Amino acid sequence: MRSRVVAVAGDSAAVPVAELRDVLVLLRQHGAAGLREEYWRERLPTWLLRRFPAPLPAEQKGAWLEQWRMASAAERAALERAADWEFSQWLYWFGAGNDIWALSDVQADGRRLRVEVEHDREPVPVKVLEWTFKAVGLRVESMERIS
């Protein structure tokens, strides 16, 4: 199956849409190679790397996970929305370990970014894309299955 996510830059977008497109194209081209975090930290732009928080200590991660496990579905969703993506978590979704979906096409057109993903099941977990868009001042305009 294939789905398309369209994001639109707001007036206060932190980076040009074409620059984010270039990042996603780089991830599409090399993500499946299973390259290490250090490789990506050397190649991804500083404006993106600055948006990731410092990794939480193991104790705090464990406490958050315990809270999440004991929460209702609605509380889990709220906890997930409130949490920031650590770089390693974000990178996972673009790498070889993610067998749920893969970037298949990325196009920029002025203030719009169109990202197509290949996937085997629905719903497609695209929170990582939504977070990435929001981090640089874009908002999701639409998401649709195209094949």
Give the whole-number percent of the chain exceeding pLDDT 70: 99
- Are 43 and 49 in contact by the 8 Å Cβ rule? The answer is no
Instruction: Calculate helix-pair angle for 58-70, 73-82, nearest 10 degrees.
Output: 150
Q: Can you give the pLDDT at residue 33?
A: 74
Helices (H) and strands (E) in the chain, counts: 7, 4
Tens of pLDDT, residues 110-139: 899 999 999 988 888 888 999 999 888 899
What average pLDDT does the structure give for the chain?
89
Q: Which residues pair with 14 in a beta bridge?
A: none
Side chain identity at residue 138, one-letter code? L
- Residues 6 or more apart whose CB falls under 8 angstroms from that of 61 comprise none
- Are 37 and 88 in contact by the 8 Å Cβ rule? The answer is yes
Tens of pLDDT, residues 8-47: 998 877 788 999 999 999 999 887 677 788 999 999 999 9
Q: Which is higher by pLDDT, 124 or 140?
A: 140
Side chain identity at residue 131, one-letter code? W
Q: Give the neighbor-by-neighbor strand order of the sheet with 138-145.
A: 101-109, 112-119, 2-9, 138-145
State the Cα–Cα distance between residues 141 and 147, nearest whole angstrom. 19
Tens of pLDDT, residues 45-83: 999 999 998 888 989 989 988 998 999 999 988 888 788
State the Cα–Cα distance between residues 107 and 31, nearest whole angstrom. 18
Q: Can you give the pLDDT at residue 32?
A: 65
- Residues 6 or more apart whose CB falls under 8 angstroms from that of 66 comprise none
State the Cα–Cα distance between residues 100 and 117, nearest whole angstrom. 10
- With 90 as the cut, is the pLDDT of residue 108 above it? yes
